[in-house]
Amino acid sequence: MARLIKAFPVAAAVALALTCTAQPASALDNGLALTPPMGFNNWNAIGCGISEAFVKQTADFLHTHRVNGRTLQEAGYTYVNIDDCWAQPDRDAAGNLVANPAKFPDGIAGTAEYVHGLGLKLGLYNDSGTMTCSSKGFPGSFGHEAQDAMQFAKWGVDYLKDDNCKQAPGQDTRDATIKRYTAMRDGLAAARRATGQAIVFSICQKGDNGINTEDWSPAVGNLWRTTGDIHPNWDRISSIIAKNIPLAQYAKPGAWNDPDMLEVGNGSLTTVEQRSHFSMWAVMAAPLLIGTSLTKASEDTLSILANTEVIAVDQDRLGKQGKQIANNGGRRVLAKPLADGDVAVALYNETGSTATISTTASAVGLGGGSYRLTDLWSKKVSTSTGTISASVPSHGTVLLRVHVK
């Protein structure tokens, strides 16, 4: 039998919690990523198997394949991001990074030119340490930050994912970590001044060595990882959601909590779990980076990724991450204010059984007396004088857009 869980505001407790939490650093003011980045990253799909051909195939798919009347590019997916294993094992005689010519015969610059020709943008993987995370071992940027940043800009890279593996001795402290990432931030800024090429900076320090990212990264990068790596199973995804939820205060335009790439379409996740995963990333204003091989994706997977109403919640220009207003044994309510005055409400059930989860319009921050509720998956529209309630399946999320009539 479904359980009835009612959620009401606890403003005093929330206010106290905020006063006891470190205040976020000033956001990096580079004018980039004013909404969470959207695109594709190959790692969850093919790992080290990246190639120029795969990048071009993915870019073509984003540009041409229509889902519900529009392409994924038109839905907002802009970046085609290359992850680890693109480089040669050694730098050249001048100390520059070199793309593997067998994988990238046109080099990174030629690949970027192709992607740009479709109106898309190219992302590239890097590491802040001496080597990348791959066991095959490719050069990191430690001690080469300015040089590599200039190289990336000259190649036409639009997005840089900067990982945190294989540190030199003494480089695993908090101060050393911040210094390394700040050096790359400054290198990217200098390269932009010299070339005009703007590069979104994604910090992939995942809390390694007990070093949190959210309190210093907003002043250094446009987005920062908040958890360890994602995997295509519900236990891992739900644990990531639980860790990312309390970090809402750090998110703002140009500065985003990053709970990792999407696993929609991967593993044995059910349709309910995939929709829940996508819904929670949207209400948490997370980057939406597709992580499944698009040419092999089912129409069900593509329809989830192309849900424009859910994407609109993620991409809302107000730039607020949804805040949790209730949690009763894993039956959670999150509310995300939107720029037009609406509120996105996620009724999220991480438990093993169906539950009716309820809240009120006043609890999610709305005044007035009559409301229109739109379910962003079923498309059903209902009205209410204040109660917001739904039966939510195990591991499911009902995502509503609530409008004052």
Helices (H) and strands (E) in the chain — how many of each? 11, 19
Q: Which of 162, 163, 260, 342 is catalytic?
A: 163
In this structure, the number of other CB atoms found within 10 A of the CB of residue 242 comes to 15
User: Along the 405 residues of the chain, how does pLDDT read in single tens digits?
Assistant: 333 333 433 333 333 333 334 455 677 999 999 999 999 999 999 999 999 999 999 999 999 999 999 999 999 999 999 999 999 999 999 999 999 999 999 999 999 999 999 999 999 999 999 999 998 889 999 999 999 999 999 999 999 999 999 999 999 999 999 999 999 999 999 999 999 999 999 999 988 888 889 999 999 999 999 999 999 999 999 999 999 999 999 999 999 999 999 999 999 999 999 999 999 999 999 999 999 999 999 999 999 999 999 999 999 999 999 999 999 999 999 999 999 999 999 999 999 999 999 999 999 999 878 999 999 999 999 999 999 999 999 999 999 999 999
Q: Please report the domains of the chain, with CATH numbers, ordered by start residue.
A: 22-314 (3.20.20.70), 322-404 (2.60.40.1180)
Burial of 215 (0-12, 13-18, 19+ CB in 10 A): middle
C-alpha pair distances (Å), 374 with each of 69, 168, 268, 378: 21, 52, 29, 9
Q: Which of 208, 215, 229, 375 is catalytic?
A: 229
- Residues forming beta bridges with residue 358, ordered by sequence position: 6, 389
- CA 142 to CA 147: how far, in whole Å? 10
In this structure, the number of other CB atoms found within 10 A of the CB of residue 101 comes to 11
- CA 93 to CA 149: how far, in whole Å? 18
Q: Is 54 helix (H, G, I), strand (E, B) or coil?
A: helix
- CA 228 to CA 242: how far, in whole Å? 13
- CA 199 to CA 205: how far, in whole Å? 18
Instruction: Please give the model's pTM, rounded to 2 decimal places.
Output: 0.93
Whether 229 is catalytic: yes
